[in-house]
Structure 1
Amino acid sequence: MSGTRRPVWVDVTILVLAAVMFASMIALGNWQMRRLAWKLDLIENVETRAYGDPVPAPKGAAPEYLRVFATGTFAHDQSLRIKAVTDLGPGYWIMTPLAGDDATVWVNRGFVPNGLDQAAWDTPKGPLGVTGLVRLDQPGGTLLESNQPETGRWVSADLTEMSRAAGLENAQTAYFIDAEASATDRGWPRGGLTRLTFRNTHLAYALTWYAMAALFLVAMGYVVRARFKATD
């Protein structure tokens, strides 16, 4: 007893969907390879910039993770909090303007946990020096949340909007400084929490997608071959 032959359009639809799936797997593998190149570049930048002797903070743009120092006076009354989650738990980064002779640069003084009374924060007075790492402007917010300057809710260091909210006219908006941890002071805010190690599994993911694409292609080859044999 012979069965009803499957319509040609069904075979065509299956082949089109299979081609889309195969192309998608290849595209995902290629995307992981691009991410791999980006991650390797990031790791190299950290290794070559973050551990050298500090240089004076540039007046203009600066490469991320460059170790710099700046001098000035903290304007604690203009500090802003940025939502953060660290190894110490949930809390905030404390961003404070450091007013120098020529310009003002934002400094991430470090992390404070939720619920810590502001009276417990260290608020150094007078001229001082800050050493830390350059971090670039972070406009807009994060993937899941947006900054809300009108309510004082910040999830990223949008330096232009932060400077506007704080009433700063000569602030550096290309980058801010992640302050290093003090060797003697373990109070709050807690500096030195810049993430300098990065998980790199992009090559493994890329090879997985390419392997899946190859296996899928072989499987579809068997299906097509079986279909042609069935029509003989």
Structure 2
Amino acid sequence: MTTATIRKRAWRSLAAPGLAALAALAILLGLGTWQVERKAEKEALIARIVARSKAEPAPPPGPGAWDPARDEFRHVRVSGTFLNDAETLVHGLAAGETPGRALQGYYVITPLKRDDGGIVLVNRGFTPTELRRPQDRRPGLVEGETTVTGILRASEPRGMFVPAPDPARGEWFNRDIAGIAAARGLAGAAPYLIEADAAPNSAAWPRGGQLRVDLPNNHLQYAFTWYGIAACLVGVFSVFAWRRLHEAAEPEPFRP
């Protein structure tokens, strides 16, 4: 068999693995490009959320006009009276004074009876476990007419590892707006919640301003990962092809 024939067969033998490598390369490059596009979309989303949350507070939408995609994270202002005897505590953590050490406690969800007669749930902020009873944090109870500014939020979905609520015992682990309203008998409550802003110069509990607009944006890292795998694939296949062609070009050993 001539050397040319051997080389031709070697090239032909690379056809199937070459096509497979090209298909895999196209998929990897597509995934990397998709992550770059997702990065741009996430940055635009974060910019919109930050702009909404820092805008001048406006009246919240009516319950029937609520659109989470359009209205969530808007800065709003509403007036009314807190129904302190119907507050609900939701288990949670908050940043402490020591970096890296979180405080364990509750978020205080209190219905606000609006001047127009409607009801909206307000997350007044965080309180430590030892101050879960309202009588232990009387300086933080707001009586009578008040005005609240804060950020509109939709219900917090319950994750896979988050315990189910126990309304009978008052145990809640996520801010389930509809569930809390139903458990408290708040018919017609707004389908959204207001995350109250921090009260300036106040040391009373609960403390608002706990919302952090911090959406994960790891798409650039993911893109580099896919592109890196694609580069490795090119390198591995190049070495594989070179070895196969190099072995085919070597003369066969002489056999007498």
- The structure carrying a bigger helix percent of its residues is 2
Mapped pair 1:219 → 2:236: yes
Among 117, 123, 137, which residue is 2:141 paired with? 123
Query: Of 110, 114, 120, which residue of structure 2 is paired with 1:105?
Result: 120
Larger Rg computed on CA atoms: 2
| 1:105–1:211 distance in 2 versus 1, CA, 3 Å | same
Q: Distance in 1 between matches of 2:23 and 2:161?
A: 29
Identity of aligned residues (%): 32
Alignment correspondent of 2:86: 78
What number of residue pairs does the alignment pair up? 217
Match of 1:91 in 2: 105
Other structure's SS at 2:202 match: coil
Equivalences for residues 1-232 of structure 1 within 5 A: 25-26=28-29, 29=32, 32-33=35-36, 35-59=38-62, 60-62=65-67, 63-88=71-96, 89=102, 90-100=104-114, 101-118=116-133, 119-121=135-137, 122-139=140-157, 141-150=158-167, 151-173=169-191, 175-198=192-215, 200-227=217-244, 229-230=246-247
Is the contact made by 1:120 and 1:188 (CA closer than 8 Å) also made in structure 2?
Answer: no
Inter-partner Cα distance in structure 1 for 2:205 and 2:27: 48
Given that 1:69 and 1:130 are in contact with CA atoms closer than 8 Å, whether structure 2 keeps it comes out as yes
Q: TM-score, normalised by structure 1?
A: 0.79
The answer on whether the counterparts of 2:106 and 2:132 sit within 8 Å (CA) in structure 1 is: no
Alpha-carbon distance in structure 2 between the residues aligned to 1:85 and 1:30 = 37
Give CA deviations for 1:104-159 in whole Å, capped at 9, x if unaligned: 111110011223242233211112110011112224x1242143244433222221
Q: CA deviation at 1:19?
A: 8.2
Unaligned stretches of 5+ in structure 2? 1-15, 97-101, 250-256
- AA in 2 matched with 1:41: A
Give the letter for the 2:56 counterpart.
D
Deviation of 1:198 after TM superposition, in Å, equals 4.7
Following the alignment from structure 1 to structure 2, what is the Cα–Cα distance between the partners of residues 158 and 224? 58
Distance in structure 2 (CA, Å) of the matches to 1:160 and 1:95: 12
CA distance in structure 1 between the aligned counterparts of 2:24 and 2:85, rounded to whole angstroms? 56
**What amino acid maps onto 2:80 in structure 1?**
G
